[in-house]
Structure 1
Amino acid sequence: MPALSRFILAAACAAGFTSLLAGCATTASVPLANPTAQVGAYRDTIDLNGRLAANYQKDGQPQSINGNFTWVQRPGRIDVSLFTPLGQTAAEITVTPDAATLKQSGREPRVEKDIDTLTAKSLGWILPVSGLRDWLQGYAVDAAGKRFTASPAHDSVVTNDGWRLRFVEWQNGPGGTPMPRRIDAERSTTAVGDALTIRIVIDPVA
């Protein structure tokens, strides 16, 4: 079975998926150095590791996935690696302003003009890399087109492309400012059926 097929776990029931998501965030919380502050300044260069789970529908049937990821962001380029729960590489995604590329072992690279199209066709659900560029650091663009800056006291927003975000848990980031620890995102989209729910847990930042 291809690694990506192992990454995409089929037909989880709602209760099972809820348990899966709850298991993503079992690390004890560390008190924030400055719990009333907003997130720190946006960084074009960032390296993160974490876990994600997604709940979506395919052909009218509920589906779920669970795995780990690495996120390497540089000006003009993002590299995302997805791993199975056992640590095997499921997919490697590269996003530039011109194209999005998916690589899997033993297969020709797949290229699309944008990451939403690529992941919807290849994974069966949309990995919102363009949004995650902001979300992972506590930023978003709200429904009115204004820049949203999150904080523990101001932790939810609806984005301009229809994602409902909640920054559920926090950790200490560079300089002691708060940084997202867990992000819940939900959007209704005809591209993958009905509601798409993604939960992201970011590992502690050094």
Structure 2
Amino acid sequence: MRQHASLLMACAMLAGCASLKHQQREASEGDLHLSGRLSVQVAGVAGGKASGGNGAFELSGQPTAGQLELSTPLGSLVARAVWRDGDVRLQTPEDERRFDDLDALTREMLGEAIPVAALFDWLQGKPWSQAAHTAQGTGFEQLGWQIDLSHFGEGLIVATRKAEPAVTLKARIDKT
């Protein structure tokens, strides 16, 4: 799993890496569209090597049906996650794979499971309505993640999971 995530991140560093074509998702009522820069760092476990990477992202749709595209810092699209009605797919320039759920897909894509359903709300600076949360300082804790909103006015959200392996996700949202 981490090898595939590392491969995606390595592609993000190579200008000549093959890429997908950007694909607009057909919008539905209530859809969200966010774009910006994303950084994911996964700490090493028991002396293992840490992994991570960064690039641009476009998140559209809803927790039940949506799309997440990841691009290199130079703009080449290296991965697209698409989900709807129990169909969860990851498209890369090399192939397309199906997954049981979004957790399995993000584990493959980013090295660890990221709660995408909650991410839709977190990136808007609010707790996900489908799970309990605790207010803390300039943010909140939810689903085992600490969400720091101290720089939300500047478009920066930092989500940290302390459980091993520790994961830090930083998203800078483009202003529209």
So what's the TM-score if we normalise by structure 1? Answer: 0.63
Structure 1 stretches lacking a partner, 5+ long: 10-42, 172-179
Identity among equivalent pairs (%): 27
Q: Give the conservation status (yes or no) of the 8 Å contact 2:56–2:72.
A: yes
Deviation at 1:7, TM superposition (A): 2.7
Decide which of 145, 148, 151 is 1:166's aligned counterpart: 148
Q: Give the conservation status (yes or no) of the 8 Å contact 2:12–2:72.
A: yes
Q: Give the conservation status (yes or no) of the 8 Å contact 1:3–1:88.
A: no
| SS of corresponding position for 2:152 | strand
Provide the residue aligned with 1:6 in structure 2. Answer: 11
Deviations 1:13-72 (A, max 9, x none): xxxxxxxxxxxxxxxxxxxxxxxxxxxxxx932212100111113561122201000111
Deviation at 1:121, TM superposition (A): 2.8
C-alpha RMSD over aligned residues = 3.0
How far apart are the structure 2 equivalents of 1:124 and 1:199?
Answer: 15
Decide which of 109, 113, 124 is 1:137's aligned counterpart: 124
How far apart are the structure 2 equivalents of 1:114 and 1:132?
Answer: 15
How far apart are the structure 2 equivalents of 1:202 and 1:99?
Answer: 27
| SS of corresponding position for 2:43 | strand
How far apart are the structure 2 equivalents of 1:130 and 1:68?
Answer: 19
How far apart are the structure 2 equivalents of 1:158 and 1:147?
Answer: 5
| SS of corresponding position for 1:130 | helix
* Rg comparison, structure with higher value: 1
Deviation at 1:189, TM superposition (A): 4.0
Change (3 A) 1:122 1:50: closer
How far apart are the structure 1 equivalents of 2:41 and 2:133?
Answer: 28
Deviation at 1:97, TM superposition (A): 4.7
Change (3 A) 1:90 1:170: same
Amino acid at match of 2:162: S
Change (3 A) 1:134 1:87: same
How far apart are the structure 1 equivalents of 2:139 and 2:102?
Answer: 24
Structure 2 stretches lacking a partner, 5+ long: 1-6, 15-28
Provide the residue aligned with 1:155 in structure 2. Answer: 138
Deviation at 1:78, TM superposition (A): 1.3
How far apart are the structure 2 equivalents of 1:196 and 1:158?
Answer: 14
* Count of residue correspondences: 153
How far apart are the structure 1 equivalents of 2:103 and 2:63?
Answer: 20
How far apart are the structure 1 equivalents of 2:107 and 2:128?
Answer: 22
Amino acid at match of 2:94: G
Deviation at 1:4, TM superposition (A): 5.2
Deviation at 1:183, TM superposition (A): 0.5
Amino acid at match of 2:98: V
Amino acid at match of 2:74: L
